[in-house]
Structure 1
Amino acid sequence: MLIANIANAQIGRRFPSERKVIKDPLTGVELVFLTSTPVGDSKIYQTHNQWTADGQWLIFRSGRVRGEAMAVNEQTGEMVQVTEGGYTGMLNIARKSMKLYFMRNVDTTKRGGAVQIIEVDLAKVFVDSKAGKMKAASSYQRICGTTPATIGAGGDMALDGAEDWAYFRVGKEEAARHLKAGTKLEPSFGPRKMGAGPSGIAAMNINTGEIKYVISVPFQVGHIQTNPWVAGEIVFCWETGGKSPQRTWTVLADGTGLRPLYPEADHEWVTHEAVISRDEVAIAIMGHRKIAGTDGTAAPQTGVGGANPGQETAWGPSGTREKPTGLGIVNLRTRQMTIVGQTTSGSGLWHVSGSSDGRWAVGDDFSRSIYLIDRNTHEMRLLSAGHKQTASDHPHPTMNPDGTKIQIQSAMLAADNRSMNICVINIPQEWINAK
């Protein structure tokens, strides 16, 4: 039995295509479902790259092999297991090489302790898997280095734009050691009782294993990402599980230049920032909460979960449409912010992305609908709907590097109305041709 389990968990294991192409029931746009069975698929978070450097494969998380990552060929639908031995935190797909990077706990039986950063040679995996001549996992996976257990490394990881360093969170004790004397620590914020500091970011050189410290901050760090076009530029957030006093931050790899990315007001609920081009970051300024008193009642106080989260009054005076809301684009150089679109009703745009050429912006909302914005004409269209509010997660749309398609996760095909599949939406050619 043990031998069978090892064989079933082997890197390079292949799975048959589940690819299905259907028409969106509301918009008629073509939806390419690359997975279609209920086995617990989910895409990489929209802050990170989704496609391999050759543009042929998407990497995703799946329950097909518990704790391992999968790749699916966009054209054929063939699937290949691309890790062996498990991973933790974020999957990082290189843009300049056919490599995958992730963290792995040295002691996989528990959380915490020393962590390894692992490199996978995807090109070798795909070639040997297709030939049916897989070698031992060590032929494809390389340990870049191991963090000291004392620094508490883990969570989000992001590959530098030069693809030579990987950034990651450290624990509170390590962050406190590097915090400037006299720094006032931030307490928890909001009903989820998250956000307290200190926290910090460190980095590992993936070629040498060298570890360096980047920055400590007096609040909880979340969603570390990098600028793929500019080496040494990091974007991260103050994580509270909802509205933050100041959500978005940026810092350079040497620890200098720390500042709010978009300085927000108390009435603004800023979330789900994503670097979309050399100079731009997309953000959502939420308009999802009722304005108290407009219908003779107070704003609702429903739970954080469900299709319409974040309604508790404990979040403060934010997230209503008394002030401008929508999908914002922040310029990292000029610091100017432009709102490029917003839905007329409902939650407003929530998870956001965009194309690196500046043409498109995309966002989802609480209904799991996907909206595409042409930044040249300022036209916003409903691209896709019917992805089920009962889904276990949100679509998290991400543009591909060419700005011609969008990857989402969807429960549209799920009999249980919850299980997610990997889906690609090609932007209709007539939309691309319109100027």
Structure 2
Amino acid sequence: MRIHLTALLCLCATLTLSLDASAQIGKRFPSERKVVKDPVTGTMLTFLTSKPHGDSKIYPTHPQWSSDGKWVVFRSRMAGDEAMAVNEQTGDIVQVTEGGYTGMLNLARKSMKLYFMRRADAGLQVVEADLGRVLSDSAKGKMLSAASYQRVAATLPASLQAGGDLALDADEEWVYFKVGQEEAARHMAPGAKVEPAFGPRKMGAGPNGIARLNVRTGEVRHVVSVPFQIGHIQANLWNPGELVFCWETGGKSPQRTWTVLADGSGLRPLYPEASYEWVTHEAVISKDEVAMAIMGHRAIPGAASSVAGPATGVGGANPGQDDGWGLTGTREKPTGLAIVNLRTRQMRIAGQTESGSGLWHVHGSSDGRFAVGDDFSRSVYLIDRSNSEMMMLTTGHKTTAADHPHPTFSADGTRIQIQSAMLSEDGRSLNIVVVPVPEAWLKRPSRP
């Protein structure tokens, strides 16, 4: 009996070690890299993942590539709920977190660091991961414990009701995050009007707030409170201490886009929108510019329409076709991929599809040359901002996909990352894809 018990204990220990190893930071996975020709446009698409792991890209409000430009970081169930990195050239895949994460992944632009939130017994932690060391040691096959690469910058007090988006400042000293209604209310002026829920999804009620954490010292400061629900907090990655965020309703907002400085001053609407405008999916694309979509996806009452809606059979796959949003999001007024200048406050529409939903998730190159957007068909369009020429880069990414393409430019403006179900057998599972800007377009003269 003693021998059997000893053998059983050894087996349990072996299984425990195996389980620990399977979830270890730095674990390497075989390359899945494939180059696939788009059957409609002919664009050569680089699938950095091609199996049904349930991959998804970081949201377009945040960087996708490591600071050295070699690795794309993404979310996946390949190693449980851990962040992964894939080398764009070799296809090598490496697990870069251990212990899970929640919310947004933040890649630093100046250093090979990754910042994220993680739930722990003590509360919500803000963690700094040394991405450079993880990738280097993984390549050498000499990994240390997870604590050697991951540093808890702070554990946030439960009273803050912290959560949601995390945004790393351009100075890489501060991160910004949302605080809950009770904490936000403490910082609001007495008698301030709090907004109720808006629209058919019953979202948007306030108050909410933004706070910031110094990742070196652990100091927490309140930034601002507003009377509505906050979504998509993002930092201007070229200008320290400048934020953009939105009033989140799950659809049309009374005033979608907002900006504020880190000390709480300068709070104002980024683009003051009219009641008939459906503004969504804002993304800071350069030091002075924010791209956003002014949607043209809804039919004009009483008029013939080519807009994608319930009549074309895609109403259930896309938002905004349900009732209760008012007479908004139609093409009776100008719509399209809009770019707002943070300094001059001027807005210019860079382009719009001739029919269908119009451009939906949008981004732009930081040099000001190009813009990009997807639409309800999951097609991706490139725009030359100097002359408004527009071309379809890729299509056929399946309206049944688990999420939308969410195109995002690389730092050098030469390629675009999307997520795609093109190779998915079930029509839902996503993979990580890099789409090149055509060489002929890159050779065009830069904007003055």
TM category (shorter chain) comes to over 0.9
Q: Give the AA of the match of 1:21.
A: V
**2: CA distance between counterparts of 1:83 and 1:64?**
12
Which runs of structure 2 are paired with 1:46-195 in the superposition (5 Å)?
Answer: 46-107=60-121, 114-195=123-204
Match of residue 400, structure 1, among 410, 430, 446: 410
Query: 8 Å contact 2:127–2:152 — kept in the other structure?
Result: yes
1:423 equivalent to 2:433? Answer yes
Query: 8 Å contact 2:169–2:235 — kept in the other structure?
Result: yes
- Secondary structure, counterpart of 2:324 in structure 1: helix
Match of residue 34, structure 2, among 7, 20, 37: 20
Q: Show the counterpart of 1:308.
A: 318
Q: Give the drift of 1:279.
A: 0.3
Q: Give the drift of 1:2.
A: 3.0
Q: Give the AA of the match of 2:229.
A: Q
**2: CA distance between counterparts of 1:305 and 1:171?**
33
**1: CA distance between counterparts of 2:179 and 2:324?**
29
Of 11-20 and 303-312, deviating more is: 303-312
Q: Deviations over 1:367-404 (max 9, x none)?
A: 00000000012101111111111111000000001010
Query: 8 Å contact 2:45–2:436 — kept in the other structure?
Result: yes
Query: 8 Å contact 1:167–1:201 — kept in the other structure?
Result: yes
Q: Give the AA of the match of 2:53.
A: V
**2: CA distance between counterparts of 1:305 and 1:206?**
44
1:227 equivalent to 2:236? Answer yes
Q: Give the drift of 1:11.
A: 0.2
Q: Give the drift of 1:305.
A: 7.3
* TM-score normalised over the length of structure 2: 0.93
**2: CA distance between counterparts of 1:194 and 1:55?**
38
Match of residue 210, structure 1, among 219, 230, 234: 219
Q: Give the drift of 1:345.
A: 0.3
- Secondary structure, counterpart of 1:119 in structure 2: strand
How many residues were matched structurally? 428
Q: Give the drift of 1:146.
A: 1.2
1:269 equivalent to 2:271? Answer no
1:11 equivalent to 2:25? Answer yes
Q: Give the AA of the match of 2:86.
A: V
**1: CA distance between counterparts of 2:409 and 2:345?**
23
Residues 323 and 65 of structure 1: is their aligned pair in 2 closer, same or farther, counting only changes over 3 Å? same
1:329 equivalent to 2:343? Answer no
Q: Give the drift of 1:165.
A: 0.2
- Secondary structure, counterpart of 1:314 in structure 2: coil
Q: Give the AA of the match of 1:317.
A: L
Query: 8 Å contact 2:310–2:316 — kept in the other structure?
Result: no
**1: CA distance between counterparts of 2:230 and 2:31?**
39
Q: Give the AA of the match of 2:224.
A: I
Q: Give the drift of 1:295.
A: 4.6
Q: Show the counterpart of 1:110.
A: none
Query: 8 Å contact 2:104–2:117 — kept in the other structure?
Result: yes
Q: Show the counterpart of 1:31.
A: 45
Residues 361 and 196 of structure 1: is their aligned pair in 2 closer, same or farther, counting only changes over 3 Å? same
Q: Give the drift of 1:308.
A: 3.0
Residues 301 and 207 of structure 1: is their aligned pair in 2 closer, same or farther, counting only changes over 3 Å? farther
- Secondary structure, counterpart of 1:123 in structure 2: helix
Q: Show the counterpart of 1:236.
A: 245
Which runs of structure 2 are paired with 1:372-411 in the superposition (5 Å)?
Answer: 372-411=382-421
Query: 8 Å contact 2:336–2:359 — kept in the other structure?
Result: yes
Q: Which aligned runs of 4 or more in structure 1 are off by greater than 6 angstroms?
A: 301-305
Structure index of larger Rg: 2
| Gapped regions of structure 2 (runs ≥ 5) | 1-14
**2: CA distance between counterparts of 1:130 and 1:404?**
27
Q: Give the drift of 1:300.
A: 5.3
**2: CA distance between counterparts of 1:348 and 1:295?**
16
| Gapped regions of structure 1 (runs ≥ 5) | 108-112
**2: CA distance between counterparts of 1:308 and 1:228?**
30
- Secondary structure, counterpart of 2:434 in structure 1: strand
**2: CA distance between counterparts of 1:288 and 1:325?**
9
- Secondary structure, counterpart of 2:40 in structure 1: coil
**2: CA distance between counterparts of 1:223 and 1:289?**
24
**2: CA distance between counterparts of 1:381 and 1:301?**
26
Residues 132 and 386 of structure 1: is their aligned pair in 2 closer, same or farther, counting only changes over 3 Å? same
- Secondary structure, counterpart of 1:315 in structure 2: coil
Q: Show the counterpart of 2:265.
A: 256
Q: Deviations over 1:112-168 (max 9, x none)?
A: x72111000011101111111110000000011111111111110000011100000
Query: 8 Å contact 2:315–2:321 — kept in the other structure?
Result: no
Q: Deviations over 1:335-392 (max 9, x none)?
A: 0000010000000000000001100000000000000000012101111111111111
- Secondary structure, counterpart of 1:130 in structure 2: helix
Query: 8 Å contact 1:279–1:333 — kept in the other structure?
Result: yes
Q: Show the counterpart of 1:338.
A: 348
Q: Give the drift of 1:65.
A: 1.3
**2: CA distance between counterparts of 1:307 and 1:262?**
28
Q: Give the drift of 1:314.
A: 0.3
**2: CA distance between counterparts of 1:9 and 1:380?**
44
Query: 8 Å contact 1:362–1:372 — kept in the other structure?
Result: yes
- Secondary structure, counterpart of 1:187 in structure 2: coil
Query: 8 Å contact 1:302–1:312 — kept in the other structure?
Result: no
**2: CA distance between counterparts of 1:277 and 1:150?**
35
Q: Give the drift of 1:316.
A: 1.1
CA RMSD of aligned residues (A): 1.5
Query: 8 Å contact 2:224–2:264 — kept in the other structure?
Result: yes
Q: Show the counterpart of 2:7.
A: none
* TM-score normalised over the length of structure 1: 0.96
Q: Give the AA of the match of 1:369.
A: S
Q: Give the AA of the match of 2:324.
A: A
Q: Show the counterpart of 1:434.
A: 444
Of 52-61 and 176-185, deviating more is: 176-185
**2: CA distance between counterparts of 1:347 and 1:209?**
45
